[in-house]
Copies of this chain bind each other. A is one copy, B any other.
Amino acid sequence: MTRPRSRRGGGRPTIADVARKAGVGAITVSRALREPGRVSEDLRRQIQAAVDELGYVPDPNARALASARAEVFGVLVPSLTNNVFAEVVRGIYDSLSDSPFRIQIGNTHYSGLEEERLLQVFGSQRPAALIVAGIDQTPSARRLLENAGCPVVQVMETGPDPVDMMVGFSHFDGGRTAAEHLLEAGYRKIGFIGARMDPRSQRRLAGYRAAMEAAGLFDPRLITTTPVPSSVTLGRELFRDALAKMPTLDGVFCNNDDIALGVLFECHRASIEVPKQIGIAGFNDLDMMQVSFPSITSVRTHRYEIGTRAVAMALAAIAGNRPEQRIVDLGFELMRRESTAR
């Protein structure tokens, strides 16, 4: 039962085939599919029957071309494997799974240049919305976002000057809170250990520093960082460096949980008692923080919710009712655990 195929098309049914079979105009089929309310119930049923029988699926490319708008959410993250962004992306996917929107993820590798390139590529598709991680776009990237002609949500952080909308929390406050907690617990020589040191890590460091300075305990030698990407292995190594540099260290605030775990393992290996000799605090509160022995204090961030919230805001903006609250601060939560319970 080969239906006559056009010169180039793959031979799959088009909207015209459906229209013919249902005995209506093509435009009515188009409407029945997109705005069912505007087509009478009768025709709607007929059309649905024709669609089912032919197995018609609209061509998103033709749709995008004709309507000058693709049903695509562009998402830009600096890393695919970092659990933090994976959670945000998961939230985005889950929120969009019942919508007609497809998702396109770009991996910027923490590079502003790469971000610009991807923005260019994404923009050429006329996406329905853009979600980008971070608030430190290059001037050129920022311009691309401003001219994207679609809702833009910056996620992971909050800041004073959104391109359009923002969902996140203050990394500075998160860092300060963790450091203050260590101070309250009685630790004095509290180091900061950080890898990658992207802008968010920098702000956590700044928060840590503010707390330490307020306590009159800041010392630059307490800081150990590297631009190298974060890993558990690296956490262990950095901790050894930190200890070598400052043997009287009695606490560490880690950039993230991978580092914290590495520190914990090194303590085990070197028979350093946690929390007695060394207090450890992490950041993000991955699942394993609560199970480790001892369990590790961490700053819980609401990553999945950042994703879902960003989508909700973008969807609202697409629907025409832009949320009046353009900057949403989802906050964080200090999870006090054994590793700082002196």
When chains A and B are docked, how far (Å) is the Cα of A287 from the Cα of B81?
Answer: 12
When chains A and B are docked, how far (Å) is the Cα of A13 from the Cα of B8?
Answer: 26
Decide: B287 and A231 in contact? CB cutoff 8 A: yes
A57 at the binding interface (Cβ < 8 Å):
yes
Decide: A70 and B61 in contact? CB cutoff 8 A: yes
Point out the residues of chain B lying under 8 angstroms from A86, CB to CB.
80-81, 86
Decide: B232 and A287 in contact? CB cutoff 8 A: yes
A22-30, A153-161, A288-296: which lies at the interface: A288-296
- Interface residues as binary, A185-222 with B (CB distance below 8 Å gives 1, 0 otherwise): 00000000000000000000000000000000000000
A227 at the binding interface (Cβ < 8 Å):
no
A64 at the binding interface (Cβ < 8 Å):
yes
| Interchain CB contact (< 8 A) of A125 among B61, B68, B231, B290 | B61
**Nearest CB of B to A330, in Å:** 19
Chain A residues numbered 169-199 whose CB sits less than 8 Å from any CB in chain B:
none
Q: Count of A residues near B, CB < 8 Å?
A: 52
Decide: A60 and B125 in contact? CB cutoff 8 A: yes
A45-53, A87-95, A276-284, A313-321: which lies at the interface: A87-95
Decide: B83 and A107 in contact? CB cutoff 8 A: no
A248 at the binding interface (Cβ < 8 Å):
no
A236 at the binding interface (Cβ < 8 Å):
yes
When chains A and B are docked, how far (Å) is the Cα of A304 from the Cα of B59?
Answer: 32
Chain A residues numbered 127-186 whose CB sits less than 8 Å from any CB in chain B:
149
**Nearest CB of B to A186, in Å:** 24
| Interchain CB contact (< 8 A) of A87 among B65, B81, B105, B236 | B81
When chains A and B are docked, how far (Å) is the Cα of A269 from the Cα of B291?
Answer: 10
When chains A and B are docked, how far (Å) is the Cα of A102 from the Cα of B75?
Answer: 13
Decide: A57 and B124 in contact? CB cutoff 8 A: yes
Query: A289 — nearest CB in chain B belongs to which residue?
Result: B232
When chains A and B are docked, how far (Å) is the Cα of A292 from the Cα of B266?
Answer: 8
Query: A288 — nearest CB in chain B belongs to which residue?
Result: B232
Decide: A8 and B68 in contact? CB cutoff 8 A: yes
Point out the residues of chain B lying under 8 angstroms from A9, CB to CB.
68
When chains A and B are docked, how far (Å) is the Cα of A89 from the Cα of B231?
Answer: 19
Decide: B293 and A265 in contact? CB cutoff 8 A: yes
Query: A66 — nearest CB in chain B belongs to which residue?
Result: B8
A104 at the binding interface (Cβ < 8 Å):
yes
Decide: A104 and B107 in contact? CB cutoff 8 A: no
Pairs A–B under 8 Å by Cβ, sample size 22? A10-B149, A58-B124, A59-B65, A59-B126, A60-B124, A60-B125, A61-B64, A61-B70, A61-B125, A62-B65, A65-B65, A81-B83, A83-B83, A86-B86, A93-B107, A103-B105, A105-B105, A233-B288, A233-B290, A261-B291, A262-B291, A265-B288
Of all A-B residue pairs in the complex, the 6 with the closest CB atoms, nearest first, are A268-B293, A232-B288, A61-B64, A57-B124, A81-B86, A61-B65
Chain A interface residues (CB < 8 Å from chain B)? 8-10, 57-62, 64-65, 68, 70, 80-81, 83, 86-87, 89-90, 93, 97, 102-105, 107, 120-121, 123-126, 149, 231-233, 235-236, 258, 261-262, 265-266, 268-269, 287-288, 290-293
